[in-house]
Amino acid sequence: MTVRILALVGSLRAGSHNRQLAEAAAKHAPEGVEVNIFEGLADIPFYNEDIDVEGSAPEAARALRTAIAQADGLLLFSPEYNGTIPAVLKNAIDWASRPMGAGAIVGKPVAVVGTAYGQYGGVWAQDETRKAVGIAGGTVVEEAKLSIPSSVIRFAELHPADDTEVVEGLGKVVDQLVAQSGAAAA
């Protein structure tokens, strides 16, 4: 049986180091684990209950909810924007949390990792992401953490998929998420 992990990347930038981290997680996923990067966060409108009507919610939001529902776990990649979570990632969490108490994220194991330019690797944003996910009903895998500082320097000439330390760190996070996903499925 394949464990399906859905990756959501909180940066829309073409050269995003967080996107590259997600690519590394997908490339180096262990046997029996599939990491798929969700495409389309930029297409999802800001959450608004007036447009979140059963049967007519925006297609992009429905696609996100379906992808989350079909995944065994979520791996969120968060850069840090002004000391907190990027709006696009927060918006995805908001859509995934609805309908309240029964959203696609409810009970879903979630790990949060990321990289940022600063010396702490975006830990504030990642902590805020974990907080939002927990409140939304996701099961935060607290021990699954990876914050990589100085992204612009570290990944200037080396893709994260080719950085042994990063690949090992991502591997540990994926293993922890898979263990929690297995527990959730049992």
How far apart are alpha carbons 28 and 128 in whole angstroms?
A: 27
Cis peptide before 99 (omega within 30 of 0): yes
pLDDT at 183: 60
Q: For 14-45, write each residue's pLDDT tens digit.
A: 899 999 999 999 999 999 999 999 999 999 99
Q: In this model, does residue 48 exceed pLDDT 80?
A: yes
Sheet of 73-77: strands edge to edge?
A: 33-37, 3-9, 73-77, 109-115, 139-148
CATH number of the structural domain spanning residue 92: 3.40.50.360
Q: In the predicted model, what is the mean pLDDT of residues 74-87?
A: 96
Q: In this model, does residue 120 exceed pLDDT 90?
A: no
The structural domain count of the chain equals 1
Residue % of the chain over a pLDDT of 90: 89
pTM above 0.85, yes or no: yes
Q: In this model, does residue 186 exceed pLDDT 80?
A: no
pLDDT at 55: 87
Range of the domain at 35: 3-185
